[in-house]
Amino acid sequence: MIAARMDRRQRNKNLAIALILGALALLFYLITIVKLTGSGS
Amino acid sequence: MAPPDQLVGVQSAAGDASEVRDYWLLLKPNVMSLVVFSAAAGLYLAPGRLHPVLAFVAILCVAVAAGAAAAINNGYDADIDRVMARTRLRPTATGRISREDALAFGVTLAIISTMVMGLAVNWVAASLLVVTIAFYVFVYTLWLKRRTPQNIVIGGAAGAFPPMVGWAAVTGHVSLASFVLFLIIFIWTPPHFWALALYRCGDYARVGVPMLPVVAGPETTRRHIVGYVLALLPVSLLPWALGFAGDLYGLAALGLGGGFLGQAIRLCRDRTQRTATRTFRYSIVYLFGLFFALVADKALGFAPIAGAGAAW
């Protein structure tokens, strides 16, 4: 039971990290487009 | 009735949601809202223009950095938070999140927010963000909070940096105008926090945090509150006096300041907890109102040409 809960926690942590990295990648993609179009300072 | 395996699934999902909520609470979202608002105001008031996407990124970075500092503070202060009534339900105080996890979470967010700010916006704003986090963590939390009743006077500078960060995100420098915004929050912080400490005095005494009401007593604290509110009045008028805010702001600053002073004097006469609570709440309304007036003043075209916006 405890091992299953630990597994679940670890899986959730991995998922959270993956989501954050995905969001960061998207953010940098957007920032790059803004900078490349010259409208960002 | 649902089968047992489905019930376990529902319980696990509820547990996941509460864990996410715990990490969210670790960031002190209430404090974050004021920080975000003042940073956004600084960003809007600065001369120049920032692309909306970059402006959003800058505000996001300030919010995340404020949350990072709060998470580190929660991690470090878990021992005293556990004893204080106001903080005993915090995730680190109850043990739902360990101190180590809170510290790791905070440090990670601090690194990400400053790096993104530097790479996406500019390195002056990123440096100010580092100073903000470092001031809150090292100067206030680790050094002053448990040592001196001046903790909130000096440590309050950490909460005063966000409008300066917002301003620097647009201009890439620090100017007299952004320093004035810093000064307003810096002078506002002690009376704001002491009003809270007046009715949470027992809490602070129990854990040995030398807040002014604990060390010097409630009478001295009330006098200090009046003194700081008196000092805040002319400082809040500086944007108008220096010519980067117009008459609308000047009138709002006078009205809001007069209200704050009236509330502080009432606090000296009526020594009830209710008046202390009201003073604390009014101080929040005051700061929101003041920055809202600055924004409205510029949006409605009352502000003269910004002469004080030049770089130092």
Residue A39 has pLDDT above 80, yes or no: no
User: Cβ separation of B51 and A39 shorter than 8 Å?
Assistant: yes
pLDDT of residue B241: 95
Residue B303 has pLDDT above 90, yes or no: no
pLDDT of residue B125: 98
Query: Least CB-CB distance to A30: which of B48, B53, B170?
Result: B53
pLDDT of residue B8: 47
In which element (H, E) is residue B253 found? helix B247-269
pLDDT of residue A8: 83
Residue A10 has pLDDT above 90, yes or no: no
pTM of the model: 0.88
pLDDT of residue B197: 94
- Short-list B208, B28, B152, B36, CA closest to B102: B28
B162-217 confidence digits (pLDDT tens): 999 999 999 999 999 999 999 999 999 999 999 999 999 999 999 999 999 999 99
The structure tokens listed for B178 are 């952004």
- Mean pLDDT lowest among B49-58, B221-230, B302-311: B302-311
User: Cβ separation of B54 and A34 shorter than 8 Å?
Assistant: yes
**Confidence at B1, pLDDT banded by 50, 70, 90:** very low
Chain A nearest CA to B249, separation (Å) = 29
pLDDT of residue B7: 47
Q: How many other CB atoms sit within 10 Å of the CB of residue B268?
A: 13
- Mean pLDDT lowest among A6-10, B147-151, B219-223: A6-10
Residue burial B56-68, b: 16+ Cβ < 10 Å; e: rest: ebbbbbbbbbbbb
User: Cβ separation of A34 and B51 shorter than 8 Å?
Assistant: yes
With both helix axes pointing from N to C terminus, report the angle between B4-26 and B52-76 in degrees, rounded to the nearest 10.
100
Cβ neighbours for B83, distance < 8 A, ≥ 6 positions apart:
B203, B206, B207
**Which residue would you say has higher pLDDT here, B4 or B132?**
B132
Residue B297 has pLDDT above 50, yes or no: yes
The C-alpha atoms of residue A27 and residue B121 are separated, in whole angstroms, by 12
Please report residues of B whose CB lies closer than 8 A to that of A12.
16, 19
Q: Give how far Cα B304 sits from Cα of B45, B167, B247, B301, Å.
A: 12, 18, 9, 8
Q: What is the 8-class DSSP label of residue B175?
A: B
Find the chain B residues whose C-beta atoms sit closer than 8 A to any C-beta of A: 12, 16, 19, 48-51, 53-54, 57, 112, 116, 119-120, 122, 170, 172
The C-alpha atoms of residue B205 and residue B29 are separated, in whole angstroms, by 26
Chain A nearest CA to B50, separation (Å) = 7
The C-alpha atoms of residue B158 and residue B136 are separated, in whole angstroms, by 5
B69-115 confidence digits (pLDDT tens): 999 999 999 999 999 999 999 999 999 999 999 999 999 999 999 99
Residue A40 has pLDDT above 60, yes or no: no
In 3-state terms, what secondary structure has residue B196?
A: helix
Annotate B38-72 with DSSP letters as a single string. HHHHHHHHSSS---HHHHHHHHHHHHHHHHHHHHH
